Each structure stands twice: as C-alpha cells, then as structure tokens.
Amino acid sequence: MIGGGATPTGLALNAFLDLVDARRGGRIVGLTTASGDPVASAVAWQKDFAAAGAMNVEIPIVERRDQADDPRTAALVGEARGIFLGGGDQIKLIATLGGTAVGHAIRDAHMGGATVCGTSAGAAALTKTTLANGEVDLETGQLVEMYIGPGLGLLGFHTMIDTHFAERRRLHRLFVAIAGYPELMGLGIDEDTALVIRGHLGEVVGKGGVTFVDGRDVHYDNASEVRQRPGAQLTLSALRVGIVGAGHVLNLRERELEEVVRLRSALKAEVVHGVRVGDES
C-alpha cells in the first residue's frame, strides 16, 4: 500500500516491482478506475512503469460496472503476477469493482499469491472498511461529510487506511474516524512511502513513515458531535498513537512494532523459566 505521490525512482513503487519481478517480465495489470480520467491516468502510469523498468504492464480501461464484468478483463487480472490500483476516488473504485467479475478476480488472484499494490485511493480501498472525505472542499469551502463504508476487503486485521498523510495533515481526520470506530486501527501512510505487508507484518519502505492509531482503549470521545457539527472540537481520552519509520516493521495483529513484540516475548519467556532481568539470585 502506497500513500500516493509514488515516483518511478522511489523505493515505494520499486518495492512492488521487485515483488513481482517486473524488470524480468513479471506481468502487471493495472486499473485506473478510481481516476476522474481513467484513460489519461493509464497513459501516465504506463510511462511511470516504463521509466521504472517494468517490462510487461497492461492497463485495461475499466470505468463502469459493465466493463468490470467483462470476462476477458477478469481473466487478464486473474493471470497477473502483480495487480496495481491507481489513485483518485476510493468510493468510485469500490462502487465500480465491488461484486463484479474483475473484483472477484482481484480477490482470487490475491488469495492465489499475486501481489496487489494500491496507491492513494487504491490503497484506501483495500481494507474491509474504507475512509473518505471528512475534509473541507477547497473550491466551496464547505466541509464534506466523512464517509466510512465497505472496502474491497483484501486486508484484514480491522484496519482503515488514510493516505497523503503527513503532506495533507490528516492526523485529525484519522482521530475522528477511529474515535467513531474504536475497534479499528488507522494506518496513515505518507507520500512516496509503502507499507509492504506479508502475513501480519508490514514493513515501511520509502521516504516517509506510517502512523498507526489504535482506539481500543479510548475512554471518552465526542466524535459523533464533531462529524455532525462543523467547527466542533474533538475530545478524546486514551487514544494510542505511534509512528513507524522506514525499515521498521509493524505487527498488525498486535498493533505494535515487531521489535517491541519480540522483546516482550523474550522477557515473558525469561520469566516463565525463572529468570528475570536484574535478578541476581
């Protein structure tokens, strides 16, 4: 999952290319469905993939549900070693692909071992629960109501993705979202940065970081008031927040740095065997 702003030379996009062996012909199928102009977006991504050294990239144009039900496109997706979902509007992406032949092909390919990469809206759509809006529209100056709804469901662990995170100062938005759904863990991914997930472990790759927001221990919040009344101030108690830098690994199951999880396990093992740090007996 890339937080948007991916560059052809950046480590984030290149992590995806390495995983699918793209520079030696590993086949990538991309979908620019989330874009307001899927054709122009497809052309731009073809150029970026070529600049990054990918040798076998196809981007069929899928902007309507009838196109997403085309068996030929679904077969193309199903045969891919890597599947790429571009940016734009995650609600549009989910509404177009969800429950279609292409949507099922993405899920089946992922279950069969294909690597799925989403950037910006493409990343936000990969979880079971998706976040969108909840910010002021720059053209109208009006607050756009926050959307929290079903996603494509490829990533579990009760997660919710936010993108362009540091660059667009979205920490407050994620606070509001997680306060309203405290069972979820929010993952805010910076631009040109990827969270590369294998099983329950996610490694941060790229120039930024990933912020995680855990609401399970929240004692009090007024998130519903904030969502309903523009200008209301958010109040929260006991929200847990951490930042994961490049090269570090987040344990999604434990909602903690893997280094911390391992240290706790080692200390627990010492206690079980009757040895405690600093015990001289």
Which are the catalytic amino acids? 120, 164, 191
Which one-letter DSSP state was computed for residue 183?
T
Contact 193, 209 (CB under 8 A): yes
Distance from CA of residue 272 to its chain's centroid? 38
Q: Which amino acid is at 169?
A: R
The neighbour count for residue 38, using CB atoms within 10 Å, is 23
Q: Could you tell me which of 59, 68, 128 has the C-alpha nearest to residue 93?
A: 68
Is the torsion defined by CA of 147, 216, 161, 22 positive or negative? Answer: negative
**What are residue 194's DSSP bridge partners?**
2, 205
What is the rounded CA–CA span in Å between residue 92 and residue 82? Answer: 22
**What are residue 172's DSSP bridge partners?**
none
DSSP state string for 218-274: --EE-HHHHHHSTTPPP-EES-EEEEEETT-EEETTTTEEHHHHHHHHHHHHHHHTT
